[in-house]
Amino acid sequence: MTNALPRAPEASRVMTRVTLVGAMIDALLGVGKIALGWVTQSHALVADGVHSLSDLGTDALVLLAARVSHEAPDAEHPYGHARFETLATLILGSVLLLVAGGILWDGIERALQESLVIKLNHWAFAVVLVSIAAKEAIYWYTLRAARQIGSTLLEANAWHSRTDALSSVAVLAGLVGVWAGYPLLDAVAASVVAVLIAKIAVELLWESVQELVDRALPADESARLHAVAMAIDGVRDIHHMRTRTMAGRTLMDIHLEVSPGVSVSEGHEIGCWVAAAIREAAPHVADITFHIDPENDEELEGQGPVVLRPLRREVLALLGQHWSAWVDAETTYQLHYVRGGIDVDLGFASDAPATAAQLKDACKDLAWLGDVRVWQRVTEPARR
């Protein structure tokens, strides 16, 4: 069974509102720092302005995710549209890496110049101090909203703002160096900014690639969810619990071992309880597919075709031929496919006309027949 839990529209609205506020501040800071850096010939200030504008790319990514990635699954995208967010992150990381390389290369060229003139004024210090304060405010504002709606993408964007604030601190150090008579420090500060941008780019690329190759949850988180599922009444064991991440959300496949004597509906209900418990313990798990097993069949999986046992119609036909002297139209059958064979429970309307040993002895040629149990019904006969 598969259950998808889409995010609430309110979460999408929060992501959009918070991101638009951050984007407006990023745009103002970026344009202001680039303009002032151009006037003062401060390469570090220009680089920091580019860094601020680069945040608009991440802001656009979050806006795209709030709109596209939360759309319901359709015929062409049965697992939803979250991979579009991953693809956008991959593109953004690549662009940021190129920007970082360009800034670093230009900074090295400027450092090798024989004369380096920077026209420093108090406005340069003022815009950098404003940038540090503004980006720190965006960080806390975005982080609080991210934790309220449980959005890992919005939290990542908050940390991106924190990194921008740190890069502005590096620029401030460069400006102080210029003011003290060491203009080379401006080029050094620009290089520091380039390294910070490259670090963000590499992290974005790495996270995107990990999602594209279906990285599992960390081992400790998987163990915690395993324990949650095992705590549900009726679950005997768990095998093949597999997870993969998609844009901050988790998809899970889990095989639940239950008693082979339970009904189909009871096994299904046990699975529903497991799914509900996991979602309560880990809201990021958006899709759970559970499989009910009467025994641990892990060793049989992944080994190619196995010997298939006959299904109910063939089983009843063969058993009816062997047991024609004892069974009739009112006899009920319960089949249990376990241990590579088929156990049979026979229900009679009155006293059993034969023992389980006699019934099994009459079917020596049926290699798939396992245990045979007989019992007397006290209710109306079930449909065959």
What is the predicted pLDDT for the residue at 6? 40
- Per-residue pLDDT reduced to its tens digit, 64-75: 777 776 666 777
Residue at 201: amino acid letter = A
User: Which pair of tokens denotes residue 301?
Assistant: 């999986």
Q: What is the mean pLDDT of residues 351-358?
A: 87
Q: Is the pLDDT of residue 257 over 90?
A: yes
Find out whether 341 and 307 touch, Cβ atoms under 8 Å: no
Backbone φ, ψ for residue 356 (5° rounding): -60, -35
- Distance between CA atoms of residues 27 and 35, nearest Å: 12
User: Which pair of tokens denotes residue 205?
Assistant: 């690329």
What is the predicted pLDDT for the residue at 101? 83
| Polymer length in residues for the chain | 384
Token pair 């062409």 is found at: 76
Burial status of residue 271 (CB atoms within 10 A of its CB: 0-12, 13-18, 19 or more):
buried
Of 114-123, 248-257, 332-341, give the lowest mean pLDDT range.
114-123
**Order of strands, edge to edge, in the sheet holding 2-4?**
2-4, 285-293, 249-257, 237-246
What is the predicted pLDDT for the residue at 273? 96
Confidence band, pLDDT 50/70/90 cuts, at residue 116: very low
- Distance between CA atoms of residues 195 and 210, nearest Å: 22
- Distance between CA atoms of residues 296 and 128, nearest Å: 63
Average pLDDT over the chain reads: 80
- Per-residue pLDDT reduced to its tens digit, 15-58: 788 889 988 988 888 888 788 778 776 666 677 677 778 778 77
Neighbours of 270 (CB within 10 A): 22
Q: Judge if pTM exceeds 0.85.
A: no
- Per-residue pLDDT reduced to its tens digit, 300-353: 555 444 678 999 999 999 999 999 989 888 899 999 988 889 999 999 888 888
Token pair 């395993």 is found at: 226
Kindly state the greatest CA–CA separation across the chain.
110
What residue ranges define each of the domains in the chain, with the CATH number in brackets? 2-212 (1.20.1510.10), 219-298 (3.30.70.1350), 312-376 (3.30.70)
Of 123-132, 138-147, 306-315, 338-347, give the lowest mean pLDDT range.
123-132
Q: Is the pLDDT of residue 117 over 60?
A: no
What is the predicted pLDDT for the residue at 258? 93
Q: Is the pLDDT of residue 170 over 90?
A: no
Q: What is the mean pLDDT of residues 166-186?
A: 71
